Structure 1
Amino acid sequence: MGRAAPPSEQAILNRRRQLRGQKRLKFLISTWRTLAISGLAGSLLWLASLPRWVIHRPNQVTIRGNHTLSGTAIQALLPLQYPQSLFRLQPQVLASTLETALPIQKALITRQLFPPQVILEVQEQAPIAKTLCVGAVNPMEQRCILRQDLKPTPVQQGPAGIWLLDSRGRVAPLSSYPHLQTSGKLPTLTVLGLFTPAPPAAQKQLSKTDLAVDSPLMTLTQARQTSWAMMYRQIRQSPIKITTVDWRSANNLILETELGRVRLGPYNESFPEQLKALTRMEKLPRYVNPQQVLYIDLTNPERPLIQVREAGKAGANNQQPSPPTP
């Protein structure tokens, strides 16, 4: 076979012109795309700054789905600064804040342009217990402020003396539930020691405000909420009625029950076994007069102990093993 003839000089020139044309076309397309994107971004920024798509007042936020939790309490925890552009609103951040700070199971936030409005749909989580501020001689009269360091913005509630608690460890002041406050139909379970004192730096910052008068600053950590959620799942399965969870001491969790006061030691993985041991003692009143029981010690659930008063000696006591399980 013969060799292929080399391209002519004219063909090479034509190929070069074709390549230069393609490069110019690609450059023009790239430039047009950049200008289009920049123009679109500028237009959106301009639209976002228009007064017609900015909310200026809290009454431009519509809250739906709340039956017991007041709209005022929900709106107070929305991290919004007015005026607020609807295009700069972050619905997921707002929803996450409400679901983490309040007894709200689900929050859905949508933006409405005509007229400019924020619509918030919530699904409440029913309160199952009440918790108190601890530190006063009479805990029922102690008011405190609760601060939670959520991201991106910390939230603050109170001051309040009685708080309602859901099964996940989310709280709100009793005043956030107007109907429950008026009717007085509060949960029967009481939790003491759920809140812990806030760090000194936060306390110092609060002391500069008028709210600091007789209202200590407390905090509720995520670890505490997680522990409570696990604890409550186990408590509600117990056939023994529990009226108070005293968590004020990290070394001794105390339960007030229908059988009397129960000491458990530190809250840990033994808690389910301790509740089972308490269930096995449900017939205890047949053997021991409940008026004579000082407390039941279930620190070791395999060896329950009952502290009883000595007959005829006021203030004296005697420790006995629990009676055999019938």
Structure 2
Amino acid sequence: MAGIISVSRKDLAQRRQKLRRQRRIKIIQTIWRTLAATGMAGGLLWVTVQPIWVLRTSTQVVMRSNSKLLSAQITQSLLQLSYPQSLWRIEPATIAETLKKQPAISQASVSRRLFPPGLIIEIREKSPVAIAQMLPKQNTSNCQNQPQSSEKSTDKSTNPCLKNPHTQNKHSQVNLLDANGALIPWQKYTALNPNGKLPSLKVIGVPEQYRAYWHQLYQAVSQSGIQVTEIDCQDPTNLILKTELGNVHLGVPTQLAEKFHVLKQLEQLPSQLDSQQIAYIDIKNPSSLLVHTN
């Protein structure tokens, strides 16, 4: 019994020593891990506060539009960032939301670039489908009250009631229009696309009046197969189209599919009737087509 008791006490003492040794190792490992984590955090903090992580000029911002690199001048005009500025204080999501509020931009994504420090911005521009022109109101009362002599009637330069179309276009408000009816300022679009191709379709009228039905109208025009160069929306009860067949009185913007289907059937009209003899085509009622002649 004495031999068994002495062996048991020896084993217990060895086990205690082993446990103490393991406990010391765990404590040392914990201390090293803490020191390593603290050192890494301190190193990252030191790196982030270095002057290298600063945007100093707009050349450090790369902006692309449809895989096309934009100039630093255009980038600065869109971003309007102040320099110098810490790269870590810039919020990419906020910049993206600000860019999407630009009238010529539909989508935007912003990300930080670490080496070299900078920003990478990808934008998607709105695609204009028509030129929106709103003609200014003309003062016709002065023209009606003004006496017109035979001499002045022949002199266009001295008659204020005779407008030069080039001068009139300069005073009219011109913007661009996308397929959803959103206005794109002319200057904004040309700044992003100095060599961009402008649409051939022109819309005349107040955008606030025809915006409600513009999407359906444009879809009908683009899918009709008839070449339309101008849409006059000044009278919402009678839209007037300039087409390859002549002037078309569309009426109110309803039953568009039926009206353009009827118009499509008149493609052979120029070969049957001289276009100069056609005053206008009336499809206000698609079931009763009228061709008015001079």
Identify whether the pair has TM-score above 0.5, normalized to the shorter chain.
Answer: yes
Aligned to 2:288: 303
Aligned to 1:255: 241
Aligned to 1:175: 190
Give a deviation string over 1:275-326, Cα, whole Å, max 9, x none: 12211222222443221222222222222222221xxxxxxxxxxxxxxxxx
Following superposition, the deviation at residue 88 of structure 1 comes to 5.3
Following superposition, the deviation at residue 175 of structure 1 comes to 3.2
Distance of aligned partners of 1:92 and 1:133 in 2 relative to their CA distance in 1, 3 Å threshold: farther
* Distance in 1 between residues matched to 2:264 and 2:171, nearest whole Å: 34
After superposing the two structures, state which structure 1 stretch, 48-57 or 256-265, moved more: 48-57
* Distance in 2 between residues matched to 1:74 and 1:164, nearest whole Å: 21
Give a deviation string over 1:188-230, Cα, whole Å, max 9, x none: 222223645xxxxxxxxxxxxxxxxxxxxxxxx9x92x74333
* Distance in 1 between residues matched to 2:95 and 2:75, nearest whole Å: 11
Count of matched residue pairs: 218
Specify which of 277, 280, 287 is matched with residue 292 of structure 1: 277
Distance of aligned partners of 1:264 and 1:75 in 2 relative to their CA distance in 1, 3 Å threshold: farther
After superposing the two structures, state which structure 1 stretch, 54-63 or 289-298, moved more: 54-63
Following superposition, the deviation at residue 109 of structure 1 comes to 1.2
1:153-302 matched pairs, under 5 angstroms: 161=174, 163-170=175-182, 171-173=184-186, 175-176=190-191, 177-180=193-196, 186-193=198-205, 195=207, 224=211, 227-267=213-253, 269-302=254-287
Letter in structure 1 aligned against 2:236:
A
Percent pairwise identity = 35
Give a deviation string over 1:173-193, Cα, whole Å, max 9, x none: 26322224xxxx543222223
Using structure 1 for the length normalisation, give the TM-score.
0.53
Please identify the structure whose Cα radius of gyration is greater. Answer: 2
* Distance in 2 between residues matched to 1:100 and 1:277, nearest whole Å: 41
Q: Could you tell me whether the CA contact under 8 Å between 1:260 and 1:296 is conserved in 2?
A: yes
SS in 2 for 1:111: strand
Letter in structure 2 aligned against 1:118:
L
SS in 1 for 2:276: helix
Q: Could you tell me whether the CA contact under 8 Å between 1:68 and 1:178 is conserved in 2?
A: no
Q: Could you tell me whether the CA contact under 8 Å between 2:282 and 2:290 is conserved in 1?
A: yes
Following superposition, the deviation at residue 61 of structure 1 comes to 2.7
* Distance in 1 between residues matched to 2:78 and 2:172, nearest whole Å: 19
Aligned to 1:13: none
1:1-326 matched pairs, under 5 angstroms: 55=55, 57-66=57-66, 71=71, 72-73=73-74, 75-78=76-79, 80-83=80-83, 86-87=87-88, 89-99=90-100, 101-113=102-114, 115-135=116-136, 138=165, 139-142=168-171, 144=173, 161=174, 163-170=175-182, 171-173=184-186, 175-176=190-191, 177-180=193-196, 186-193=198-205, 195=207, 224=211, 227-267=213-253, 269-309=254-294
Distance of aligned partners of 1:275 and 1:252 in 2 relative to their CA distance in 1, 3 Å threshold: same
Following superposition, the deviation at residue 89 of structure 1 comes to 4.2
* Distance in 2 between residues matched to 1:252 and 1:70, nearest whole Å: 43
Structure 2 regions of 5+ residues with no counterpart?
1-40, 138-162
Give a deviation string over 1:121-175, Cα, whole Å, max 9, x none: 124454433333432754532364xxxxxxxxxxxxxxxx5x4444344524263
* Distance in 2 between residues matched to 1:244 and 1:68, nearest whole Å: 31
Structure 1 regions of 5+ residues with no counterpart?
1-39, 145-160, 197-220, 310-326
Following superposition, the deviation at residue 92 of structure 1 comes to 4.0
Distance of aligned partners of 1:81 and 1:239 in 2 relative to their CA distance in 1, 3 Å threshold: same
Distance of aligned partners of 1:59 and 1:68 in 2 relative to their CA distance in 1, 3 Å threshold: closer
Using structure 2 for the length normalisation, give the TM-score.
0.57
Following superposition, the deviation at residue 108 of structure 1 comes to 1.6
